[in-house]
């Protein structure tokens, strides 16, 4: 009738062998007593509140730059403070201080601090006091956001090769800018051929596209990545239509571009990308959420822009005639009131640079890469989006 788990002590007498309240059978008494005292609705409220408080714990510790290992959807929070020795030291310090109690566990091979919100009496104020007690212990042990052992592992869910390569290189360069030469967060890139997906896009078979993207995301999860970025704007049409959550949380490229446009005071942005991106729902939805206007080129220009992307840029061809054509389209959109241009195909920045553009550029590839590095270094919170509609 006893139970065993990684969070129970193994170097001393196992309490499950000696205390009936944690045996499998006697736990039913607790459940019966809770239902008897609280009723069905009251017990449901208790579960929902404790799950919400656990999520609050996870958000606060993640925002402070520490590594939350699990997706906090129930009442458990698993936090790593680097190597096992430092994690155990933090736990011991928290236990000695006494504001809250946290135990040690092992999750997916990683030693972690386990916070479990289980009491009917726990309140938001208790969570705030606990967080205020935990963070100073991390500072005392010289564990800070951006510490190499605290960095998050970036997964690049690649779709189009050139854009993914540019995104990877920009992550490396941004890592060096933030951390010093020859330093960057851990990055894993995985890519399946894009060819089979092109017909699916033409058929608007987004389920087929998601099958391909999800297979790549699963490999990134198996490699130990903490979150993913997809440096392909068109793919976000499929990601937004996902019916099942992805195995990792991810950054949304259109949200990042829209947030940057708003932060820089732009009001009306020109959108360049593949035909699917320019005519699809991902960017209009993101820009509406940020209360920005979005304009696209004429149908004839959209056709030629799309052809240059697929037939030239994705094949590694950079020509002056293509650059001149794009510049003329941007200039036309400037005349129609646009005050910036979103380069929303990850290959376009290979062709159009800020120096040649008639409008300030919003480089979706580099913006995504820099945001990913900020998340990896704990300067931005871990994303929670796992595909599907936002908002």
| Domains (range + CATH), the chain | 15-148 (3.90.1150.170), 151-253+370-376 (3.40.50.1860), 261-364 (3.40.50.1860)
DSSP 305-363: HHHHHHHTGGGT---HHHHHHHHHHHHHHHHTT-SEEEE-STTGGGT--TTT-SS-EEE
Write down the pLDDT at residue 382.
85
Write down the pLDDT at residue 139.
56
DSSP state of 380: S
* Three-class secondary structure assignment of 193-244: CCHHHHHHHHCCCHHHHHHHHHHHHHHHHHCCCCEEECCCCCHHHHHHCCCC
The SS3 assignment for 107 reads strand
Q: What is the pTM of this model?
A: 0.68
Burial class from Cβ neighbours inside 10 Å (0-12, 13-18, 19+) for residue 12 reads exposed
Distance of CA 301 to the CA centre of its chain: 34
Write down the pLDDT at residue 1.
45
pLDDT tens figures, 184-220: 899 999 999 988 888 898 898 999 999 999 999 999 9
Q: Which residues in the chain show pLDDT less than 70?
A: 1-27, 65, 137-150
Write down the pLDDT at residue 97.
83
The pLDDT > 70 percentage for the chain reads: 89
Write down the pLDDT at residue 307.
95
Phi–psi pair at 220, nearest 5 degrees: -65, -40
What does the block give as tokens for 291? 């209360």
Location of structure tokens 């998340």: 375
What is the maximum span of the chain, computed from C-alpha positions, in angstroms? 80
DSSP state of 10: S
Write down the pLDDT at residue 231.
94
Write down the pLDDT at residue 327.
97
Task: Give Rg (Cα) of the chain.
Answer: 25
> Could you tell me which residues come within 8 angstroms of residue 255 by beta carbon, excluding any fewer than 6 positions away?
286, 289, 390
């Amino acid at each position: 009738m006893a139970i065993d788990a990684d969070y129970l002590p193994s170097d001393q007498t196992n309490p499950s062998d000696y205390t009936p309240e944690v045996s499998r059978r006697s736990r039913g008494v607790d459940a019966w007593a809770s239902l008897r005292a609280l009723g069905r609705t009251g017990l449901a409220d208790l579960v929902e509140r404790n799950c919400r408080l656990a999520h609050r714990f996870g958000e606060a510790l993640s925002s402070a730059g520490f590594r939350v290992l699990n997706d906090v959807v129930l009442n458990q929070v698993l936090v790593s403070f680097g190597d096992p020795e430092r994690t155990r030291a933090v736990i011991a310090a928290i236990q000695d201080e006494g504001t809250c109690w946290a135990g040690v566990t092992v999750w997916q091979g990683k030693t972690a601090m386990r916070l479990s919100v289980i009491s009917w009496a726990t309140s938001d104020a208790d969570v705030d006091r606990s967080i205020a007690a935990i963070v100073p212990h991390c500072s005392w042990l010289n564990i800070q956001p951006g510490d190499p052992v605290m960095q998050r592992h970036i997964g690049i869910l690649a779709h189009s090769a050139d854009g993914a390569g540019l995104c990877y290189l920009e992550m490396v360069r941004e890592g060096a800018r933030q951390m010093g030469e020859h330093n960057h967060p851990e990055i894993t890139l995985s890519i399946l051929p894009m060819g089979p997906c092109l017909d699916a896009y033409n058929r608007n078979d987004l389920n087929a596209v998601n099958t391909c993207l999800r297979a790549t995301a699963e490999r990134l999860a198996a490699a130990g990545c903490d979150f993913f970025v997809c440096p392909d704007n068109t793919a976000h049409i499929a990601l937004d239509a996902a019916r099942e959550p992805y195995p990792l949380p991810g950054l949304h490229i259109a949200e990042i571009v829209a947030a940057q446009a708003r932060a820089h005071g732009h009001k009306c942005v020109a959108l360049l990308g593949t035909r699917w991106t320019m005519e699809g729902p991902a960017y209009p939805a993101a820009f509406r959420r940020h209360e920005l206007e979005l304009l696209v080129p004429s149908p004839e220009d959209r056709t030629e822009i799309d052809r240059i992307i697929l037939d030239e840029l994705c094949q590694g061809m950079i020509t002056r005639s293509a650059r001149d054509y794009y510049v003329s389209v941007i200039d036309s959109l400037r005349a129609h009131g646009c005050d910036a241009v979103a380069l929303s195909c990850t290959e376009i920045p290979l062709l159009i640079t800020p120096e040649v553009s008639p409008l300030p550029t919003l480089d979706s590839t580099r913006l995504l890469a820099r945001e990913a590095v900020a998340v990896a270094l704990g300067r931005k919170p871990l994303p929670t989006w796992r595909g599907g509609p936002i908002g």
